[in-house]
A and B are shown apart, each in its own frame.
Chain A
Amino acid sequence: MSVTLYLPGDANALALGADEVAKAIVNQATQRDLDIRLVRNGSRGLFWLEPLLEVETPEGRIAYGPVEVADVPELFNAGLVEAGDHPLCLGLTDEIPYLARQQRVSMSRVGVVDPLSLDDYLTHGGGEGLKRARSMTPAEIVKEVTDSGLRGRGGAAFPTGIKWNTVLNTPADQKYIVCNADEGDSGTFADRLLMEGDPFALFEGMAIAGLGVGASKGYLYVRSEYPHAAALLQQALTVASDWLDGFEIEVRKAAGSYVCGEETALLESIEGRRGIVRNKPPLPAIDGLFGKPTVINNVISLISVPDILAKGADFYHAYGVGRSRGTLPFQLAGNLKYGGMVEVPFGLTLRELLYEFGGGSDSGRPIRAVQVGGPLGAYMPESQFDTPLCYEAFTEVGAVLGHGGIVAFDDSVDMVNQAHYAMRFCAEESCGKCTPCRIGSTRGMEVIERIRGGDSNQIELLRSLCDTMLDGSMCAMGGMTPYPVLSALNHFPEDFQ
Chain B
Amino acid sequence: MEKQITSHIDELITNHQHKPGALLPLLHEIQESLGYIPSETVPAIAKGLNLSRAEVYGVISYYQHFRTTPPARNVIRLCRAEACQARGSETLAAHAEEAVVGRDLTLEAVYCLGLCASGPAMQIDETHLHARLSPEKFDALIAGLEVNS
Contact = CB atoms under 8 A, between A and B. Distances in A.
Interface of A: 11-12, 14-16, 47-48, 50, 183-189, 192, 224-228, 252-258, 269-275, 290, 331-336, 339-340, 362, 371, 375, 405, 407-410, 413, 418, 421, 425, 429
Contacts of B118: 12, 15-16, 47, 50, 339
The CB with the most chain B CB atoms within 10 A, among A15, A405, A410, A425, is that of A15
A11 B129 contact: yes
B59 A339 contact: no
B81 A227 contact: no
A354 to B, nearest CB: 13
Contacts of B55: 273
Contacts of B62: 257, 274-275
Contacts of A15: 113, 115, 118, 121, 129-131
Interface in B19-37: 20-25, 27-28
B82 A371 contact: yes
A410 B112 CA distance: 20
Nearest to B133: A15
Interface string B35-59: 0000000000000010100010011
A405 B81 CA distance: 13
A185 B113 CA distance: 10
Interface of B: 20-25, 27-28, 49, 51, 55, 58-59, 62-66, 77, 81-87, 110-119, 121, 123, 126-132
B65 A255 contact: yes
Given A290-B20, A340-B117, A252 B83 contact: no
A273 B21 CA distance: 8
- Secondary structure dominating the interface of B: loop
Given A189-B114, A228-B129, A252-B21, 19 more contacts: A11-B114, A11-B129, A47-B118, A50-B118, A184-B112, A186-B84, A186-B112, A187-B116, A224-B65, A226-B113, A253-B24, A271-B20, A332-B117, A333-B117, A334-B116, A375-B82, A405-B116, A421-B82, A429-B111
A272 B22 contact: yes
B83 A333 contact: yes
Contacts of B27: 255
B111 A184 contact: yes
Contact of A189 (B63, B110, B115): B115
A396 B71 CA distance: 48
Given A186-B111, A334-B87, A275 B116 contact: no
A187 B83 CA distance: 5
A12 B111 contact: no
A226 B83 CA distance: 17
Contacts of A409: 85-86
A407 B20 contact: no
A187 B82 contact: yes
Contact of A16 (B49, B64, B131): B131
A14 B81 contact: no
